[in-house]
Amino acid sequence: MPAAGDGSVSTIPMDHTPHQRQASASLRQAGVAALLLLAATLLLAACGPEKSSRTQPQTVEQRNAAIAAIAQQFGATQDLQAAQVALAQLNLPDPAQAVLALAEASIVQDQNDQATAQLVALAGALGPLSRMAQDFLAAEGQNSGVPAAMALAPTHTPAPTDTPPPPTDTPTAEPTATPTDTPQPTVAPTSTAVAQPQASTTSAINVRSGPGTVYPVVAQLQPGRPVDILGRNAAGTWWQVQLGNGDQGWVAESVVDETGSVDEVAVAANIPAAPTQAPRPTAAPVAVQPTQAPAPPQPSNNYVITEFRLRPLGVNAQRCDGGGNNIFVLVVDAAGNPLDGVRVSYSGDGTYPIRVTGDQGKGPGRVEWDIYKYGGGVVRIVDGNGNPLSAETPSMSANWPPIDLMYDAGYCNCKPHPDKESCRADLESKNYVFAFGHYVYEVTFQRQ
């Protein structure tokens, strides 16, 4: 057994005796019982005798104290199964997310490094870490303030098994006479089966008839229902999937989580052509006299905005109390394929700095900017002389996005609201602080 708090893990040989296995099981049961007793003690102490019959904390403080106690015990024992059993007793909707959120709050508040490290270690054992938690581990590792074993839970790595060495002498077969019968064909060795790649989501998303937002919506993919990935578009920004009823559709790569060998997914052979948009009515041309001064340049509408939204709550790192802080811009052609070499301007600092799609290394047809608290601006497509080739997007505030975007992205659910107007009232009065300064805007321009 490792010493309490030193983060080390001893390897248990595979040929241990029945008495050793029985002792190991007894120790695990004792660890689970100790965690449950510790969490129950914290709840009873916080709730008082009259609330002792309840099975979960009654306040956020009590719940956080119970999670911190479980993380402390996990740091001493490295027993992930015992920690999971203890967390299950708290009836949390998402234990891994709850532990990670408390760890990030401890990092932001610069609390006790040891307690924070224990929370981060437990979060890493339960699931993937956020960028903030990974940066904390990197910084603490450099300062030798956190044991290296806390970076990842050791219970993820199975104990090594002894593999018998290959035989050194290969017996030589005695020569035999050539058989007169036709030899039986040998069976070709089969390759290792590759898991079928699948896509899933944590919130309801649209399924479209083709790889782009210009295609009509044909269904919705519900959270927790993975679907098989059949193919992709040329840019790898959309997946072709097969739904539960046998129908096929397309989902954006940026809003789903993938499992399986997605690198082996080929470009779909049956990508439908992009639907043609009806031409917009234009006013009758006005005759201009030769002596009349030319009109100032106007946007040529070579590009239109086909998508403008906040990244939904629960997608990637977006949470009620934090997440990314970026503006992601994608420029595509009429068929939905990414376009490199397009100039995109951003007014975040008042000077319209220009970035060219594909030059940042963010992917084909993409540029992005970081936006921080009290920042934001608009983006548009321009030509080489700075003349606009598209309309401007609405303003993208890092602090208080428009209520329609907040509502559509699910942020009004962070604090239950009966309707959009009650959420609007909290937003405008600043009574309810959402993920202040941590929003991700997604904008798509399409060439006409």
Give residue 422's pLDDT band: very low, low, confident or very high (50, 70, 90).
confident
Fill in the DSSP letter of residue 123: H
Using the structure block, give the residue that is written with the tokens 């070579």: 302
Range with lowest mean pLDDT among 31-40, 144-153, 382-391: 144-153
| Ramachandran sector of residue 371 (left: φ over 0; alpha: ψ -120 to 50; beta: rest) | beta
Q: Report, as an integer, the average pLDDT of 63-71.
A: 91
Which CA distances in Å does 229 have to 233, 248, 265, 441? 12, 10, 8, 26
- Of the candidates 364, 367, 393, the residue with the CA atom closest to the CA atom of residue 380: 393
Q: Which two tokens stand for residue 436?
A: 């202040």
| Interval 213-225: pLDDT, tens | 989 999 988 888 8
Report which residue type is found at 116: T
DSSP-assigned states of every residue in 56-114: S-SSHHHHHHHHHHHHHHHHHH--HHHHHHHHHTTT-S-HHHHHHHHHHHHHHTT--HH
Using the structure block, give the residue that is written with the tokens 């449950």: 36
Distance CA 439, CA 327 (A): 9
Q: Encode burial over 95-134: b for 16+ CB neighbours within 10 A, e otherwise.
A: bbbbbbbbbbebbeeeeebeebbbbbbbbbbbeebbebbe
Paired residues of 242 in beta bridges: 228, 248
Q: Report, as an integer, the average pLDDT of 88-112.
A: 84
Q: Give the residue, 93 or 333, on which the prediction is more confident.
A: 333
Give residue 67's pLDDT band: very low, low, confident or very high (50, 70, 90).
very high
Phi (first) and psi of residue 141, to 5 degrees? -65, -40
Range with lowest mean pLDDT among 67-71, 114-118, 226-230, 285-289: 285-289
**Does position 287 have pLDDT exceeding 60, yes or no?**
no
Fill in the DSSP letter of residue 197: P
What superfamily in CATH does domain 198-264 come from? Answer: SH3 Domains (2.30.30.40)
Distance CA 59, CA 47 (A): 9
Distance CA 89, CA 408 (A): 33
**Does position 227 have pLDDT exceeding 90, yes or no?**
yes
Q: Return the pLDDT at 14.
A: 40
Give residue 239's pLDDT band: very low, low, confident or very high (50, 70, 90).
very high
Distance CA 433, CA 440 (A): 16
User: Hey, how many other C-beta atoms are within 10 angstroms of the C-beta on 271?
Assistant: 20
Distance CA 402, CA 394 (A): 9
Phi (first) and psi of residue 334, to 5 degrees? -65, -25
- Of the candidates 227, 241, 233, 219, the residue with the CA atom closest to the CA atom of residue 271: 233
Q: Which two tokens stand for residue 325?
A: 């802080």
**Does position 164 have pLDDT exceeding 60, yes or no?**
no
| Interval 86-98: pLDDT, tens | 999 888 888 988 8
Range with lowest mean pLDDT among 112-121, 134-143, 158-167: 158-167
Q: Return the pLDDT at 152.
A: 41
Distance CA 382, CA 387 (A): 5
Q: Return the pLDDT at 210.
A: 95
**Does position 364 have pLDDT exceeding 90, yes or no?**
yes
Give residue 163's pLDDT band: very low, low, confident or very high (50, 70, 90).
very low
Q: Report, as an integer, the average pLDDT of 140-166.
A: 45
Q: Return the pLDDT at 154.
A: 39
Q: Give the residue, 170 or 153, on which the prediction is more confident.
A: 170
**Does position 400 have pLDDT exceeding 80, yes or no?**
no
Q: Are 4 and 76 in contact (CB under 8 A)?
A: yes
Q: Give the residue, 11 or 137, on which the prediction is more confident.
A: 137
Q: Return the pLDDT at 263.
A: 87
Q: Which two tokens stand for residue 278?
A: 């009806």
SS3 state at 310: strand
SS3 state at 175: coil
Give residue 426's pLDDT band: very low, low, confident or very high (50, 70, 90).
confident
Distance CA 441, CA 379 (A): 11
Q: Return the pLDDT at 166.
A: 52
| Helical (H) or strand (E) element with 354 | strand 354-356
User: Hey, how many other C-beta atoms are within 10 angstroms of the C-beta on 172?
Assistant: 6
Q: Return the pLDDT at 13.
A: 39
| Domain range list for the chain | 20-156, 198-264, 303-447
What is the pLDDT of the chain when averaged over all its residues?
Answer: 75
**Does position 407 have pLDDT exceeding 70, yes or no?**
yes
| Interval 10-22: pLDDT, tens | 333 344 444 444 4
**Percentage of residues in the chain having pLDDT higher than 70:** 67
Starting at the earlier edge strand, list the strands of the sheet with 354-356: 354-356, 343-346, 379-382
**Does position 369 have pLDDT exceeding 70, yes or no?**
yes
SS (H, E, C) 222-286: CCCCCEEEEEECCCCCEEEEECCCCCEEEEEHHHCEEECCHHHCCECCCCCCCCCCCCCCCCCCC
**Does position 397 have pLDDT exceeding 80, yes or no?**
yes
Q: Return the pLDDT at 11.
A: 36
Give residue 101's pLDDT band: very low, low, confident or very high (50, 70, 90).
confident
Q: Report, as an integer, the average pLDDT of 427-446.
A: 80
Give residue 56's pLDDT band: very low, low, confident or very high (50, 70, 90).
low
Q: Which two tokens stand for residue 212?
A: 């782009």
Q: Return the pLDDT at 208.
A: 94
